Amino acid sequence: MSTFDGVITEIPDISVDYFKEENYFAKAFFLSHIHSDHTEGLFEEIFVNHLKETNKYVYMSELTKLLLTPKLKPSNSDILWHIKTLSLKYSTLITENDVNVSVSLLPTGHCAGAVMFLFETNSKRILYTGDIRIENEGFMKYRRLHADYDESVVKQIDTLYLDTTFLNPVYDWFPNRAESAKKICDIIQDWLIKDKNNSTFIKLSAVCGSEQLFIAIYEKLKEKIYVHKEYEDVYSKIPEMENVYTFDGNSSRIHASQKFGCCHLCRGNKILQISPTALYWTKDKFVIDKDQQLCISEVGDYSVRVCYSCHSSYSEIKYLLKYLKPKKVVACVDHKHNDFVSTFINNYNKSSNETFDSDKEDSEPLIIEPEDESLDKCSQSSDDSLLPCTPPEKYPKLS
């Protein structure tokens, strides 16, 4: 869960993903995606009035605006007059209210509409990741992270504001979501074949975020997923979701909701509950079965956990740092009762980014926070790369 205070120290005229009164000094605001830990203060009437009185704007992706709009009420709907959408196809120079910054949007692989912000001024280049799940090779595909004169040259990032949700060696590796989605499809298919009265229930951690999983299920099993009518405001805005879901609980044996018992069909003893989650899956949970396959699911009597993450794993974060080599890193998730993140970041910032050895950090003592799956917003965007991801014999180590 993000604990970022919105302040980009190097560009004091802007605020990102935080809209409380203490940040009203900002001359421009930015929203990376619609999850609630990134929208604090955004829907408050006092913030909308501030925008109106000062003629300021909130910048976001077009899809994020579409997903945000249904959340508005009459008391805060005027915010729509103060939202400006930015293109994913090109950089935008923002000059309103004496702000002078070039902004590029980069998909994060976290949920529909979610983006990173690459801020560039005459003297600084800042990358704010928001929430991110991009596999190692994915960063090579971002043209705007590379020099115009040579695509093999990575631009120098002065400060990286980083999603550190799983910056912890116990979360060293996660399967990609294509592999996780395939596992979930196989589990559903096997259960439904056993008995025509069997049904499955997928426990969602957020309304927005499971779109690609739904699409994979529909494409594999040719059955729509039942969701509550209240989800329509989100799913109807995502073109890829057309024909993937239904509001008729009687027409599908695959149901999904944030709460179990979403309809009368979800209250019998023929229901298999599937929980896509990442927080549970520390590396000791991954075991090799008798067929020498890595298990990414754990089955109970009528419940299954499947490893499914929308945040980068520890090894993916380390790869990001080795690839981008930012001069400085700022953690955007403050893990209370866990000093590892602050120690890791401090050691990085004290060293040269060329000489920092992240593998040495792995031996630091760890304190694992109590599991709270409500923080695990498993989700991704339609821009997510679905490449095969077969884990090696050992957990990934970077050279």
Residue 80, token pair as written in the block: 């729509």
Domains 14-171+312-368 and 177-307 share a fold: no
pLDDT for 268 equals: 57
3-state secondary structure of 236: coil
Counts of helices then strands in the chain (DSSP H, E)? 7, 19
| CA–CA distance, 118 with 131 (Å, rounded to integer) | 14
Strand partners, 102: 93, 120
14-171+312-368 domain in CATH 3.30.2010.30?
no
Burial 148-180 (b: 16+ CB within 10 A, else e): eeeeeebbebbbbbbbbbbbbbebbbbbbbbbb
177-307 domain in CATH 3.10.20.520?
no
3-state secondary structure of 102: strand
Structure-token match 């096997």, residue found = 190
Spatial contact of 45 and 146, defined as CB atoms under 8 Å apart: no
pLDDT for 353 equals: 64
Spatial contact of 252 and 217, defined as CB atoms under 8 Å apart: no
Spatial contact of 173 and 395, defined as CB atoms under 8 Å apart: yes
Looking at residue 363, what DSSP letter applies? Answer: G
pLDDT tens digits in sequence order for the chain, 399 residues long: 888 999 999 999 999 999 999 999 999 999 999 999 999 999 999 999 999 999 999 999 999 999 999 889 999 999 999 999 999 999 999 998 889 999 999 999 999 999 999 999 999 999 999 999 998 788 888 999 999 888 889 999 999 999 999 999 999 999 999 999 999 999 999 999 999 889 999 999 888 888 889 999 999 999 999 998 888 888 899 988 989 999 888 889 999 988 776 565 655 558 899 999 999 999 999 988 766 677 888 878 889 999 999 999 999 999 999 999 999 999 999 876 668 898 999 999 998 666 666 666 665 434 444 333 333 333 333 333 222 233 333 323 322
Domain ranges of the chain: 14-171+312-368, 177-307
pLDDT for 365 equals: 39
- Widest CA span in the chain: 66
